[in-house]
Chains A and B, each alone.
Chain A
Amino acid sequence: MSEKFSRRDFLKLAGVGAATSAILTGCGPASRYVKREPYMQMPEYNYNGQSTYYATTCRECAAGCGLIVRTVQGRAIKTEGNAGNPLNLGKTCARGQATLHGLYNPDRVQEPLKRSARGGDSTQAMDWDAAIQVVADALKNNKPEEIAFLMGMAPDHLFDLVSDLAKATGMNAPLRFGALGMFEARATLSKAAENLFGEASLPFFDVGGAQVVFSFGANFLETWLSPVSYTRGFAGLREAKTKMRGKFVQFESRMSQTGGKADEWIPLRPGTEALVALAIGKLASEIRGGAMPRAFENVDPIDAASKSGIKLETLEHLAGMFAGSNGALAIPGGPALGQSNGLAVAEAVLALNAISDNFGKPGGVYLSALAPNQSEYQRPASAQEMQEFVQKMADGKIKVLFVHGVNPLFELPTALGFGGASKSVSQIISFATFPDETAREADYVFPDHHGLESWGYQRVATGSAQPVLSGAQPVVSPYYNTRATADVLIAAAQLAGGSFASALPFKDEVEFLHGKVSALMGEVDGSISAPDLPTFMAYFQQHGGYWRNSDERVAPKAGDALNREISAEVAEFAGEGEFFFVPFVSPTLAEAGANKPWLQELPDPTTTVMWNTWVEMNPETAHELGIENDDVVRIVSEAGELEVPVYLYPAIRPDTIAIPFGQGHTAYGRYAENRGVNPADLLGQHFNEAGDLAFAGMKVKVEKTGAKKPLSRLESMMGVYGIGLGEEH
């Protein structure tokens, strides 16, 4: 042994010995495995080990909640609501909390990419100069009308930039779309406001000030318009500080998270919302006395009761409740609007408010305040407008498509044919931060920063009494080799020259922002004021935006809201099948949360399911069909089919099934990919009068497949449903 034992072996052995004794003694060498890098230049007001807080705007949805992000040594650690921002007053929803899992998501697009073939995995990295050249060429070498921008509902500053560019060059005006907007039926709401009040604006419902709230499908505690603000309103409704505890009634065919909080949950037959609203209006008017308003004249409550499946006594009791309160409020929303008669539903329910005469009063209906730098309400594209756009693409009228902040291949119903139409577009350039489905079908991906690394602003469309412009600033320096899309466009426009260059005569995104925000400097009533632009911008960033101090909600002019015919027709349903189909947005995932692992791990508020999609089915119906929990069933609609495990949901009509939207990605990172199904695959091309998709206007068939897929639930099936406990005593 001894002659073969070299010095090298000895050292090796000594190393093993050192490691072993290190493990055993648990001290000493730990320091050797750590390296510390000092700052090159310590940022101002920073100390090692101490947190720095930055105000910015949440980009998880378009509501525009203000955030305060805690950073330590250049890493973002925690998001909190910005207590100064009048919209969310220091609060956030779950998605706002989990935005950090987007920032530090392991699957972000890390650098500009050129894709070898659309839909393929093979990509080549590019540098940004080349990327900007590609964008510049795309702008320069195509006719302006052949260039289109498809954008998400956030951020607004980029939308403004592109709008300016489009206006100056004759490009197509940027089109904004988001699945949230589609499921909220924003177009229907604003159209109804236009029809009733003469102003196409987004109504705001002061839930907090009301005494009785009737909600027709509005899932305002989940994803609807501005959930944080509406949740605060709901707390105000319930808190018995200055008034009685407010009552809340929800009309819907499937109990949503919002419906779960209702004192009375009324499972009406889908499509009869308008009828029921008008019937309640008629009964309530009768109780109140006086002349019967024209809107309610032709409704027969008995007919309404039989068609909707609600007992007449219940209708009368509800009408009494509505009429008996001087703070009654009726809200239309959600699936009730996503039907062929959605506009009538919106009008009927809005008209109901005329009974309690609450327009422009506390606890009533307002039109949302416009943001400080906004002149009129700009709503995102409705599904019908998207369909027209897709048609344009398919016709080859679009040569270059820029996509930012939206994932149409996932968010648009498959039936609209975006995937097919995109083949007729010769160049698709995506600015996606994450490798989503659309980025996968794009020729180039030029990743934008994550929202927390970005400059910008977001106009608060609704939810706050005060006009709010939420400001965004980078809270950490970009983690990857990404670049702000605004910067890319500005640089590319300079390179493209001509009207492009003159449309965006800015050094960079920040200069553009300064230009936009500086208009507010002179205002008297603002939350911040400063004598010069740098100071003003510093305040703007420090406080997370700019808001006026006054309540600028508009009282709707509703003089003759009741003095018009409102259709009481029951909605038409497309397709053949025994089940009404209700797709709803997952309250925790929404349209873009599926790639954040902690959002996946959050139990759904109603079913407590994690990490998957399910279909909700009434236990009685399922029993008749021989279906049990976790059985995989095939749902067939006229537009498509999908297979999904069953959740026996006790609070859904026997003739209705519901599937959450948010999963079913085929790209979008390791946590989202190949998980669950996308109910948008089932939706056909049917629209309501306002152009919104009639997403809740389908009938579907359910077939057993024989397979089983256990759903991950937080709840206990034994403890909550008594399943598996043994038969009753």
Chain B
Amino acid sequence: MIKSIFDWLKQPLGLIAVGITVLTLFSVAAYGIYTTQQAPEQPIQFPHQTHVAFGIQCLYCHPGASKGPAAGLPSQAKCWACHNQIAKTETSALLAPLKEAVLSGTPIQWVPVAQVPDFVQFNHRAHIAAGKNCEDCHGDMSKVTIAQNPQVFNMGWCLNCHVESAGEDHEKLVKLSDCGTCHY
């Protein structure tokens, strides 16, 4: 029984079938990996570059970054404070979800793009205080619509920067490479 299957596989048609199967599996896997790397779908195609072009500072909408662990999303009231004075808000299809959300009082369901795992205790404030700029980690927002992550936030990437910024300062290196600085 098994032998007949092997025999069938050995003939040209069988070899083609094996080839197709392997190719299919490969492409499925490749597609699977590809999908994981795609930006998630957002409720609003928020154009960061437009806002940056108006000269709005990052901290205007994400003030938490200089004060504590989370940068935070701006409240809808904050969005509306400007947008209800902009005529385009009434007409633009892109802005319709914002208008609807604010007027109906339902929160917009943003999908975070920059995330660290839950076992990492990240603090924005310390990084800002150490002289890091937003774009060092989050990329140049004047070039993107929806925020994208130019880098994967993995431990090697964090640690690399930590070790580099410590330089020759041993005490700082101890602090910045201590497991307990980020994991507890």
Contacts and interface: CB of A to CB of B under 8 A. Distances in A.
Interface of A: 1-2, 10, 13-22, 25, 27-32, 34-42, 47-50
Nearest to A17: B32
A49 B64 contact: yes
B31 A17 contact: yes
Contacts of B71: 48-49
Nearest to B78: A42
Given A31-B115, A35-B109, A37-B109, A48 B73 contact: yes
B111 A31 contact: yes
Contact of A40 (B29, B107, B113): B107
A18 B32 contact: yes
A38 B107 contact: yes
Interface in B73-107: 73-78, 102, 105, 107
18 contacts: A1-B21, A17-B32, A21-B32, A21-B33, A22-B32, A27-B154, A32-B40, A34-B115, A36-B109, A37-B107, A38-B108, A40-B77, A47-B72, A48-B64, A49-B64, A49-B68, A49-B72, A50-B64
A47 B68 contact: yes
Q: 3 smallest A-B Cβ distances: which pairs?
A: A48-B72, A49-B70, A17-B32
Interface in B31-77: 31-33, 35-37, 40, 63-64, 67-77
Contacts of B67: 47, 50
B45 to A, nearest CB: 17
Contacts of B76: 38-41
A42 B73 CA distance: 10
Interface of B: 17, 20-21, 28-29, 31-33, 35-37, 40, 63-64, 67-78, 102, 105, 107-113, 115, 117, 124, 152, 154
B43 to A, nearest CB: 9
A625 B28 CA distance: 73
B110 A38 contact: yes
Contact of B31 (A18, A35, A49): A18
Given A27-B154, A50-B70, 19 more contacts: A1-B21, A16-B32, A17-B31, A18-B36, A21-B32, A21-B36, A28-B37, A29-B36, A31-B111, A31-B113, A36-B110, A38-B108, A39-B75, A39-B77, A41-B76, A48-B64, A49-B71, A49-B72, A50-B67
B111 A32 contact: yes
A19 B115 CA distance: 19
B107 A48 contact: no
Contacts of B20: 2
A42 B36 contact: no
Contacts of B77: 39-42
A34 B111 contact: yes
B101 to A, nearest CB: 9
Contacts of A19: 32
B115 to A, nearest CB: 5
Contacts of B36: 18, 21-22, 25, 27-29
A365 B75 CA distance: 57
A14 B35 contact: yes
A25 B33 contact: yes
Contacts of B40: 31-32
B112 A34 contact: yes
Nearest to B64: A48
A584 B21 CA distance: 73
B75 A40 contact: yes
B63 A47 contact: yes
A721 to B, nearest CB: 37
Contacts of B115: 30-31, 34
In this complex, which of A13, A16, A29, A36 has the most chain B Cβ atoms within 10 angstroms of its Cβ?
A36
A690 B51 CA distance: 76
B39 to A, nearest CB: 9
Nearest to A14: B31
Contacts of B152: 27
Given A40-B76, A42-B78, A47-B63, A30 B117 contact: yes
B32 A14 contact: yes
A175 to B, nearest CB: 43
Nearest to B16: A2
Contacts of A27: 36, 152, 154
Chain A CB within 10 Å, residue with most, of B63, B71, B102, B107: B107
B110 A35 contact: yes
Given A31-B40, A42-B75, A47-B67, A37 B108 contact: yes
Contacts of B69: 49-50
A72 B165 CA distance: 32
Contact of B35 (A13, A18, A31, A37): A18
A216 B154 CA distance: 64
Given A14-B35, A31-B112, A36 B73 contact: yes
Query: Of A13, A40, A41, which is in contact with the most chain B CB atoms at under 10 Å from its CB?
Result: A40
A28 B113 CA distance: 9
A42 B32 CA distance: 39
Could you say which of B40, B71, B105 has the most chain A C-beta atoms within 10 Å of its C-beta? B40
Most A Cβ at <10 Å: residue of B28, B64, B78, B108: B28
A44 B166 CA distance: 37
A17 B29 contact: yes
Contacts of A18: 31-33, 35-36
A127 to B, nearest CB: 20
A18 to B, nearest CB: 4
A45 to B, nearest CB: 11
Query: Which of A14, A22, A48 neighbours the largest number of chain B CB atoms within 10 Å of its CB?
Result: A48
A50 B64 CA distance: 8
Contacts of A42: 75, 77-78
Contacts of A49: 64, 68-72, 124
Most chain B CB atoms below 10 A, which of A15, A16, A32: A32
Contacts of A15: 32
Contact of A38 (B31, B75, B124, B154): B75
Contacts of A41: 75-77
A36 B63 contact: no
Contacts of B74: 38
A311 B77 CA distance: 78
A1 B17 contact: yes
B29 A21 contact: yes
A44 to B, nearest CB: 12
Nearest to B123: A49
A170 B78 CA distance: 53
B112 A36 contact: yes
Nearest to B63: A47
